[in-house]
Structure 1
Amino acid sequence: MDLGLKGRKAIVCASSRGLGKGCAMALAEAGCDLVINGRDGETLAATAREIEQRFSVSITAVAADVSTAEGQKALLAACPAPDILVNNNGGPARRDYTELTREAMLDGVVQNMVTPVELIQAVLPAMMERGFGRIVNITSLSVKMPIEGLDLSSGARAGLTAFLAGVARQIAGSGVTINNLLPGKMDTDRLKGGFERAASLSGRSVDDVKAAQAREIPAGRFGTAEEFGQTCAFLCSTHAGYMTGQNILLDGGLYPAAF
């Protein structure tokens, strides 16, 4: 399917690996010129080379922390008027709510709520003026159901979801859409870290923990960054212009609900 994105410009935050990289790959495949981002310059450069070798698109790599004013300035300097913004950022480490300090809570809210709102504020006016824009926010299944140890991440991402629900509808007539992708258990480094933590607490092997968690998912497996990225690319496409303010689950059926 032609997504109608050839020549479009996209900023994909935190895209040197994992789900962000999956989104960058899919958008490059669709013909988008990309600004990719990560904190580790070496990993970011390797991702840029990989995309350039596979797809005939322009790639600009910006090594920066997207949660800082300097990082956001660098991203927007590389692409002042993107057609597409994919908001993504690392979340707070797993921690029981009783262990959270005020500083840790504020940092978590900045990472997973304030930062994407700031970037949306920066890019939205030009999108609306041009009559086309796609904003996709990578949040989490934990917005809909609790995940042990991720209370801070869940709260910040749920706050972002509620904040943007009104904004998406306010600007819906401008040709700009805002949607959220909610990953469940995806085969990423963050999930692997969860396996290791659960194994250390339970005394079981990492392989046993991994297998047990896969069995809990109706699909019987973990999701991949590649299929996640393709869903993101569709939401950014010309075919998804009538979808806005939606929360799209990619969880293999793990969330048990009819609606």
Structure 2
Amino acid sequence: MDLGIKGKKAIVCASSKGLGRGCAAALAEAGCDLVVNGRDAGRLAATAADLRGRYGVIVTEVVGDVALPEVQNALLAACPSPDILVNNNGGPPRRDFHDLDRQAILDGVVKNMVTPIELIQAVIDGMVQRGFGRIVNITSLSVYVPIPGLDVSSGARAGLTSFLAGIARTVAASNVTINNLLPGKLDTDRLRGAFGSEMPQGERIARLSADIPAKRLGTPEEFGQICAFFCSVHAGYLTGQNIPVDGGSYVSAF
């Protein structure tokens, strides 16, 4: 399917690896020029070179933590008028509720709620004026299904979801959409570390997959293709939605 976004400009946050890279690759395949971002300069450079080589698109690198204002400014300087924004950032590490202090809570809220809101504020008016915009926020299945130890991440991402629910409706008439993708168990470095490196890889994956109806882990590549569809011209009538990408793990008829 031609997604109709060839030549569009996209900012993809935290995209040197994992789900962010999967989204960047799918958008590059669709013909988008990219600004990619990550904290590891070497890994980011390798990702950018790979995407340029495979898809022949323009890929600009911005190194740093997207939660920092100076890194956000660098992203926007590299792409002042993006057509597509994919918000993504790592969540706080697993931590018992009793061990959280005020700063840890605030840091998590900044990373997973405040940062995407700030970036949306910076780009949404331009999207409205141009009559096209696609904003996709990578949140987490924990917005629906709380995961013990990831309370800050769950709370911050749920806050982002509620914050944007009304805003999405105010720009829909301008062909600007805001949607959220909620990853479940996907084959990323973060998930693979869940059972520790002492367990054989095959056994780790089998345990992680056991309670998933699809009986496997999802891949960053297929997650990216879903993201790219949400960014396409075909998805203009779909906004303000939360879409689990979880192999059927979230059980609900509605």
TM norm. shorter chain > 0.5: yes
Trace 1:1-259 onto structure 2 (pairs within 5 A). 1-196=1-196, 207-259=202-254
Retained in 2: the 8 A contact 1:9–1:82?
Answer: yes
Q: Distance in 2 between matches of 1:70 and 1:45?
A: 19
- The alpha-carbon deviation at position 210 of structure 1 amounts to 3.2
Q: Deviations over 1:115-162 (max 9, x none)?
A: 000000000010000010000000000000011211110000000000
Q: Deviations over 1:156-176 (max 9, x none)?
A: 000000000010011111110
- The alpha-carbon deviation at position 215 of structure 1 amounts to 1.1
> Normalising by the residue count of structure 2, what TM-score does the alignment of the two structures yield?
0.97
Count of residues paired in the alignment: 254
> Normalising by the residue count of structure 1, what TM-score does the alignment of the two structures yield?
0.96
Q: Deviations over 1:57-100 (max 9, x none)?
A: 10001102110110000000000010000000011001111111
Q: Distance in 2 between matches of 1:149 and 1:208?
A: 23
Retained in 2: the 8 A contact 1:16–1:44?
Answer: yes
- The alpha-carbon deviation at position 207 of structure 1 amounts to 4.5
Q: Distance in 1 between matches of 2:182 and 2:150?
A: 14
Letter in 2 for 1:23: C
Retained in 2: the 8 A contact 1:37–1:62?
Answer: yes
Retained in 1: the 8 A contact 2:168–2:239?
Answer: yes
Q: Distance in 2 between matches of 1:45 and 1:154?
A: 31
SS in 2 for 1:129: helix
SS in 2 for 1:45: helix
Retained in 2: the 8 A contact 1:195–1:210?
Answer: no
Letter in 1 for 2:236: G
- The alpha-carbon deviation at position 205 of structure 1 amounts to 5.9
Identity %: 68
Q: Distance in 1 between matches of 2:29 and 2:207?
A: 35
Q: Distance in 1 between matches of 2:169 and 2:41?
A: 37
- The alpha-carbon deviation at position 192 of structure 1 amounts to 1.2
Retained in 1: the 8 A contact 2:205–2:217?
Answer: no
SS in 2 for 1:62: strand
Q: Distance in 2 between matches of 1:31 and 1:213?
A: 34
Structure 2 alignment gaps of length 5 or more: none
- From the superposition, tell whether residues 165 and 96 of structure 1 become closer, same or farther in structure 2 (CA, over 3 Å): same
Retained in 2: the 8 A contact 1:143–1:154?
Answer: yes
Q: Deviations over 1:27-83 (max 9, x none)?
A: 000000000000100000000011011001100011021101100000000000100
Alignment root-mean-square deviation, CA: 1.2
Letter in 1 for 2:73: K
Letter in 2 for 1:212: R
Q: Distance in 2 between matches of 1:155 and 1:206?
A: 31
Structure 1 alignment gaps of length 5 or more: none
